[in-house]
């Protein structure tokens, strides 16, 4: 089973805020993916934003037995880029591979929070997160959490 981008992403809301005379675009994206038995989903995202855009992204993925989920993400630009990534492996023989690269230049913040929950034995995960900060005012945040229930 393969999923299209339209099936994968559900855009919820965005707003334009005015702060100190500047219009700042605030975007919020949310995706909910449920991978059934033996399904495979590979998702890649490249985001290059102008300085006054802030983006909040929330991804929730539930994997059934023998499913595979791969995420590749490259992000740069924008005042703030944050991704909350929640993955639950609900059956055995599940595979999760996450690869992210964030570039923070100038007064920018790139922020990744990931949560991975194993609810069955024989689950596999691999997460590689790299961040490059090129300016003294730039920031990068990584908060990774892995919970093994059984």
Across residues 29-56, what is the average pLDDT?
80
User: Coil, strand or helix: which one is 53?
Assistant: strand
pTM: 0.79
Give pLDDT, residue 41.
87
Closest-CA residue to 102 (of 128, 122, 120): 128
Across residues 125-145, what is the average pLDDT?
92
Residues with Cβ within 8 Å of residue 55, at least 6 apart in sequence: 26, 27, 28, 29, 47, 49, 78, 80, 81, 82
Across residues 131-148, what is the average pLDDT?
91
- Is residue 51's pLDDT more than 70? no
Give pLDDT, residue 67.
94
Q: Which residues pair with 63 in a beta bridge?
A: 35, 89
- Is residue 58's pLDDT more than 50? yes
83-116 tens-digit pLDDT: 899 999 999 999 999 999 998 888 888 899 999 9
């Amino acid at each position: 089973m393969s999923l299209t981008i339209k099936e994968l992403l559900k855009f919820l809301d965005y707003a334009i805020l005015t702060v100190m005379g500047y219009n700042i675009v605030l975007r919020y994206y949310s995706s909910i993916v449920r991978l059934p038995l033996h399904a495979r989903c590979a998702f890649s995202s490249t985001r290059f934003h102008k300085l006054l855009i802030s983006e909040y992204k929330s991804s929730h993925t539930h994997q059934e037995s023998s499913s595979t989920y791969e995420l590749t993400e490259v992000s740069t630009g924008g005042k703030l880029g944050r991704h909350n990534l929640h993955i639950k492996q609900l059956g055995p023989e599940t595979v999760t591979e996450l690869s992210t690269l964030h570039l923070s230049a100038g007064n920018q913040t790139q922020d990744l929070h990931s949560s991975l929950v194993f609810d069955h034995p024989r689950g596999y995960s691999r997460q590689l997160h790299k961040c490059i900060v090129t300016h003294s005012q730039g920031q990068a945040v990584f908060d990774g959490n892995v919970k093994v229930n059984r």
